[in-house]
C-alpha cells in the first residue's frame, strides 16, 4: 500500500463478536483484533489507545477514520459508528464507512489473486446478511456484485457462471446446510470463522481518500439491512 | 470549566454546555415522541437508531448557539445509566470517543442523580440536605440527599412508575401516546368527586409506591362507564387526583421522617400542574420549601447531565477509556465526588 499521499488513517470495527482496530502510517500497518462478544464498549478505545502508543503516533496526527458500518449486531454496529462519529468530530477529520460483508470478503481474499467470495454473516432470526464479492483481475479490490441483502438461507442465489468460489462468514457456520442446498453447488473452501478485521478497512480508506469519497462525522451512519424492527 | 453533557438514556437526545463561571450556556434537545407515538410506546431499537442520527448534529447546533469550539470543552459527561442499553451506548460511545479525541476527561453519570441535581441549576437553588421526589415515566422514588453522591433511597415504586401509569391510563382513555399531558388536559374538564380512586399504599407505613392497581381500577371504571358522556374526563380527573394526593402524602411523610425542610421534585411527571399545586400546598402546611427545575429541565435533557458532570469532575473525578453502560444501576450505590 503506497501511502505517500495519505495521512495517518485509523480503522475500527465492532459490528460482530470481533472487535478490531488498525492504523496505517508511512506504509506501516499496526492492528489489534479480539473476539469479545459484549466487550466492545469496554475494550475498543483502550485497544485504539494502545495501538497509537505502539505506532508512536499522536492522536492529532490522525487524518481519516474508517469504520465498520454494518451489517451485523445492531448494538455493535452502533458502537462502531458512534465511536467513529466521536473520534472524527473531536479530531476534525473525515470518516469512511466500510461494509462488514466487504470486510469478511477481504479477510477471505487477502492474497491479490482472482477471487469470488460468497459472504454470509449470521443475522439471527433464521436469516443471513448476504453479499457476493468478486475480483476479476489481480491486484484489484474485491467488489460487491449486486446488492447486500438480509434473507433466509433458503433464498440465496449465485450468479450463473460462478465457479471456483469461496464461502466466508459466520452465516456459513450456522446455516451451511441450508445455504448449500439453496445454491446447489459447493464452494472451493468454507471460512466459516471469518470475522471482519479493521485491517481490511484500511485499503478502502486509502482508496476513498484518493477518490475524495469521504463523509463527515455527522453523516456516518449504520447500515442495518434489517429495517423492519417493530415486528 | 466547560462541561459538555450528553443524554440518550431513553427517547430524548439532549446535549448541553455547562460553564462553571457562566452557568448553563445552552441546551438542545431532540424528542423522539412522534417516532414512538405510532407504536404506542418507546420502541428501544427505534430509539437507538434515532439517537445515532441526532447526537453530532445537536452538538454542532449547541456549539454554534454558544459560539464555542470543541477544543474549549474541558470535560464530557454522558448518561451511563440507568436506561435502555442500546440508547445509552450511542451517547456513551460518541461522548467517550469525542473526549478521547480531544484528550479531555470523561465521566459516566447516573441519570437519576442528574435529575435530582437539576433544580440546582436554578437561580435560587436548594441547599443540602433535602428530600428528592424523582417522578417520571421510568421511575418513582424518594431519596434523602445529604450532598452530591450521598443518597439514601427512602422508597420507590414496587410496580409501575407514576408516569407509566399516566401513559397507560391515557391509552385506556384513548388519548394516544405519550398520554400524560393529554390526560392532564382532559382532567381539567372532569368534575371533582364523581369518581374516587384509592391512594395506594398510603394506609400503611413506609414510603414505597404502587401505581399499577390504580391503572387497573381506572380501566374498570372506563369499562363500566363506556359511552357515558363526560365519564372519561371525570375518570381522568379522579386518576390524577389519586396520583397527586399519593405523591403529596408520601412526600410529607418523607419530610417528617427525615426532618428535612426542603423537597426537590424532578422528572417528567413533575411538569404536571395539579401535582405541583398539591405538592406546594403540602409543603406550605409542612412548613417546607419545594424546588422544581424549570419545565424544560423536568424531562430528560443534557443540561442536568452536564451539571452533574461538573459537580463531580470539578474535583477531578473521571472514568477510564471504557464506556460500558449500566441499564440497571442503584442510585444509593453512588459515592461522593472523588478524584481518580
Q: What is the pLDDT of residues A158-196, one digit of tens each?
A: 999 898 899 999 999 999 999 999 999 999 999 999 999
**Nearest residue to A208 (alpha-carbon basis) of A147, A141, A144:** A141
With beta carbons under 8 A apart, name residues in chain A contacting B103: 59
The side-by-side arrangement of strands in the sheet containing B289-291 is B150-156, B140-147, B130-135, B262-266, B289-291
Q: Is residue A26 assigned to a domain?
A: yes
What is the span of the domain harbouring residue A176?
101-191
Instruction: Quote the pLDDT of residue A113.
Output: 67
- From the candidates A75, A82, A220, which should be mutated to test the interface with B, based on the most B CB atoms within 10 A? A82
Binned at pLDDT 50, 70 and 90, residue B76 comes out as very high
Statement to judge: residues A16 and A84 lie in one domain = yes
For residues B14 and B28, is the Cβ–Cβ distance under 8 A? yes
Residue A142 DSSP symbol: P
- Does A108 reach chain B within 8 Å, measured CB to CB? no
Q: Per-residue pLDDT for A228 more than 90?
A: no
Name the pLDDT band for A140 (thresholds 50, 70, 90). Answer: confident
Q: What is the pLDDT of residue B178?
A: 83
Domain membership flag for residue A156: yes
Tell whether A87 and A111 lie within a shared domain: no
Asked whether residue B21 is domain-assigned, the answer is yes
In a domain, A46, yes or no: yes
Same domain (yes/no): A84, A32: yes
Q: Which three cell numbers stand for residue B328?
A: 440497571
The answer on A179 and A141 residing in a single domain is yes
Residues B90 and B239 in one domain: no
Flag whether pLDDT at B50 surpasses 80.
yes
* Min Cα–Cα distance to chain A from B186, Å: 30
Would you state the pLDDT for residue A52?
Answer: 98
In a domain, B50, yes or no: yes
- pLDDT averaged over chain B? 96
Is residue A24 located within the same domain as residue A83? yes
Q: Is A85 a member of any domain?
A: yes
Query: Which of B200, B197, B196, B171 has its CA nearest to residue B186?
Result: B171
- Which phi and psi angles does B53 have, rounded to 5°? -85, -20
Task: List CB contacts (< 8 A) between B59 and chain A.
Answer: 89
Phi then psi dihedrals of residue B253, to 5 deg: -60, -40
Closest partner residue to A83 (CB to CB) among B49, B97, B103 is B97
Average pLDDT over residues B243-257: 97
User: Any idea which of B54-63, B93-102, B197-206 has the lowest mean pLDDT?
Assistant: B197-206
Question: For chain B, how many structural domains are there in total?
Answer: 2
pLDDT average, residue stretch A99-121: 90
Residues A45 and A85 in one domain: yes
- Please judge whether A85 and B56 are an interchain contact, meaning their C-beta atoms are less than 8 angstroms apart: yes
Q: Is residue A166 part of a domain?
A: yes
Backbone angles phi and psi of A21, in degrees to 5 = -135, 150
For residues A95 and A108, state if they share a domain. Answer: no
DSSP string, A167-215: EESTHHHHSHHHHHHHH-S--SEEETT----GGGGHHHHHHHHHHT--B
Inter-residue contact B81 to B325 (CB < 8 Å): yes
pLDDT per residue as tens digits for the range B209-242: 999 999 999 999 999 998 887 899 999 999 999 9
| Residue A185 falls inside a structural domain | yes
HEC sequence for chain B: CEEEEEECCCCEEEEEEEECCCEEEEEEEEECHHHHHCCCCCCHHHHHHHHHHHHHHHHHHHHHHHCCCHHHCCEEEEEEECCCHHHHHHHHHHHHHHHHHHCCCEEEEEHHHHHHHHHHHCCCCCCCCEEEEEECCCCEEEEEEEECCEEEEEEEECCCCHHHHHHHHHHHCCCCCCCHHHHHHHHCCCCCCCCCCCCCCCCCCCCCECCHHHHHHHHHHHHHCCCCCCHHHHHHHHHHHHHHHHHHHHHHHHHHHHCCCEEEEECHHHHCHHHHHHHHHHHHHCCCEEECCCHHHCCCCHHHHHHHHHHHHCCCCCCCCCCCCCCCCCHHHCCCCCCC
For the residues A18-46, what does the mean pLDDT come to? 97
Do B275 and B132 belong to one domain? yes
* Ranges B17-21, B82-86, B136-140, B277-281: which has the least confidence: B136-140
Residues B44 and B175 both lie in one domain: no
CATH of the domain at A74: 3.30.420.40
Confidence of residue A5 (pLDDT cuts 50, 70, 90): confident
**pLDDT at residue A154 is higher than 60:** yes
Contacts of B55 in chain A (CB under 8 A): 82, 85
- Residues on chain B touching A86 (C-beta within 8 angstroms): 93-101
* Residues B134 and B108 occupy one common structural domain: no
User: What would the mean pLDDT of B184-205 be, rounded to a whole number?
Assistant: 94
Assess if residue B339 is contained within a domain: no
Beta bridge partners of A128: A122, A151
Chain B's closest residue to A47, CA to CA, is B321
Based on the domain organization, do B222 and B106 belong to the same domain? no
A6: three-class secondary structure by DSSP: coil
Confidence of residue A127 (pLDDT cuts 50, 70, 90): very high
Candidates A42, A84, A229; nearest CB to B45: A229
**What percent of chain A is predicted at pLDDT more than 70?**
97
In a domain, A228, yes or no: no
Q: Is there a cis peptide before residue B237, judged by omega within 30 degrees of 0?
A: no
Q: Is residue B338 part of a domain?
A: no
Q: Indicate whether A89 and A31 sit together in one domain.
A: yes
Above pLDDT 90, what percent of chain B? 94
Same domain, B12 and B136: no
Segments forming the whole domain that contains residue B169 = 127-292
Q: How far apart are CA A122 and CA A170, in angstroms?
A: 5
Among chain A residues, CA nearest to B90 = A82
What backbone torsions phi and psi does residue B193 show, to the nearest 5 degrees? 80, 0
* Rounded percentage of chain A residues whose pLDDT exceeds 90: 88
Instruction: Please give the average per-residue pLDDT across B24-31, as a whole number.
Output: 98
Does the pLDDT of residue A114 top 80, yes or no? no
Report the pLDDT value the prediction gives residue A161, as an integer from 0 to 100.
Answer: 87
Read off the CATH number of the domain in which B97 is found. 3.30.420.40
- Chain B residues with CB-CB distance to A83 below 8 A: 93-94, 96-97
Task: Count the domains in chain A.
Answer: 2
In the predicted structure, residue B173 carries a pLDDT above the cut 70: yes
Span of B142-151, B169-178, B314-323 with lowest mean pLDDT? B169-178
Amino acid at each position: 500500500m503506497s501511502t505517500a499521499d495519505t495521512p495517518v488513517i485509523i480503522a475500527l470495527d465492532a459490528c460482530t463478536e470481533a472487535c478490531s482496530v488498525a492504523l496505517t502510517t508511512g506504509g506501516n500497518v499496526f492492528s489489534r483484533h479480539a473476539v469479545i462478544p459484549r466487550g466492545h464498549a469496554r475494550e475498543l478505545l483502550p485497544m485504539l489507545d494502545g495501538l497509537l502508543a505502539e505506532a508512536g503516533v499522536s492522536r492529532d496526527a490522525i487524518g481519516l477514520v474508517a469504520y465498520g458500518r454494518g451489517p451485523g449486531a445492531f448494538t455493535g454496529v452502533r458502537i462502531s459508528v458512534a465511536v467513529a462519529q466521536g473520534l472524527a468530530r473531536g479530531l476534525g477529520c473525515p470518516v469512511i464507512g466500510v461494509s462488514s460483508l466487504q470486510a469478511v470478503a477481504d479477510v477471505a481474499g487477502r492474497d491479490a489473486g482472482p477471487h469470488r467470495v460468497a459472504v454470509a454473516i449470521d443475522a439471527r432470526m433464521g436469516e443471513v446478511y448476504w453479499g457476493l464479492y468478486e475480483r476479476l483481475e489481480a491486484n484489484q479490490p474485491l467488489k460487491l456484485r449486486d446488492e447486500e441483502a438480509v434473507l433466509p438461507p433458503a433464498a440465496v442465489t449465485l450468479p450463473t457462471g460462478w465457479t471456483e468460489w469461496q464461502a466466508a462468514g459466520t452465516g456459513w457456520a450456522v446455516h451451511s446446510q441450508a445455504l448449500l442446498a439453496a445454491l446447489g453447488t459447493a464452494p472451493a473452501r468454507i471460512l466459516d470463522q471469518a470475522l471482519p478485521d479493521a485491517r481490511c478497512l484500511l485499503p478502502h480508506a486509502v482508496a476513498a481518500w484518493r477518490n475524495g469519497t469521504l463523509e463527515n462525522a455527522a453523516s456516518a451512519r449504520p447500515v442495518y439491512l434489517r429495517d423492519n424492527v417493530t415486528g | 470549566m466547560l462541561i459538555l453533557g450528553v443524554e440518550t438514556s431513553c427517547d430524548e437526545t439532549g446535549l448541553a454546555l455547562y460553564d462553571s463561571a457562566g452557568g448553563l450556556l445552552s441546551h438542545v434537545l431532540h424528542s423522539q415522541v412522534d417516532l414512538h407515538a405510532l407504536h404506542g410506546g418507546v420502541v428501544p431499537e427505534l430509539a437507538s437508531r434515532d439517537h445515532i442520527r441526532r447526537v453530532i448534529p445537536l452538538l454542532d447546533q449547541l456549539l454554534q448557539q454558544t459560539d464555542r469550539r470543541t477544543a474549549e470543552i474541558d470535560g464530557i459527561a454522558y448518561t451511563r445509566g440507568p436506561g435502555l442499553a442500546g440508547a445509552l451506548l450511542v451517547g456513551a460511545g460518541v461522548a467517550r470517543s469525542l473526549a478521547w479525541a480531544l484528550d479531555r476527561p470523561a465521566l459516566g453519570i447516573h441519570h437519576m442523580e442528574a435529575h435530582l441535581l437539576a433544580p440546582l441549576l436554578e437561580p435560587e437553588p436548594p441547599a443540602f440536605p433535602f428530600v428528592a421526589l424523582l417522578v417520571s415515566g421510568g421511575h418513582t422514588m424518594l431519596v434523602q440527599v445529604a450532598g452530591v453522591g450521598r443518597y439514601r433511597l427512602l422508597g420507590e415504586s414496587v410496580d409501575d412508575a407514576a408516569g407509566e401509569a399516566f401513559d397507560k391510563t391515557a391509552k385506556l382513555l384513548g388519548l394516544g401516546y405519550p398520554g400524560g399531558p393529554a390526560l392532564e388536559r382532559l382532567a381539567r374538564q372532569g368534575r371533582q368527586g364523581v369518581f374516587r380512586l384509592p391512594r395506594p399504599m398510603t394506609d400503611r407505613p413506609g414510603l414505597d409506591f404502587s401505581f399499577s392497581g390504580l391503572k387497573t381500577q381506572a380501566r374498570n371504571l372506563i369499562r363500566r362507564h363506556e359511552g357515558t358522556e363526560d365519564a372519561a374526563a371525570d375518570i381522568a380527573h379522579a386518576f390524577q387526583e389519586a396520583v397527586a394526593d399519593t405523591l403529596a402524602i408520601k412526600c410529607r411523610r418523607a419530610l417528617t421522617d427525615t426532618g428535612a425542610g426542603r423537597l426537590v421534585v424532578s422528572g417528567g411527571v413533575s411538569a404536571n400542574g395539579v401535582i405541583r399545586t398539591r405538592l406546594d400546598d403540602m409543603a406550605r402546611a409542612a412548613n417546607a420549601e419545594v424546588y422544581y427545575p424549570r419545565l424544560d429541565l423536568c424531562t430528560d435533557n443534557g443540561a442536568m447531565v452536564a451539571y452533574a458532570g461538573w459537580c463531580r469532575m470539578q474535583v477531578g473525578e473521571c472514568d477510564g477509556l471504557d464506556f460500558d453502560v449500566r441499564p440497571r444501576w442503584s442510585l444509593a450505590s453512588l459515592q461522593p465526588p472523588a478524584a481518580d
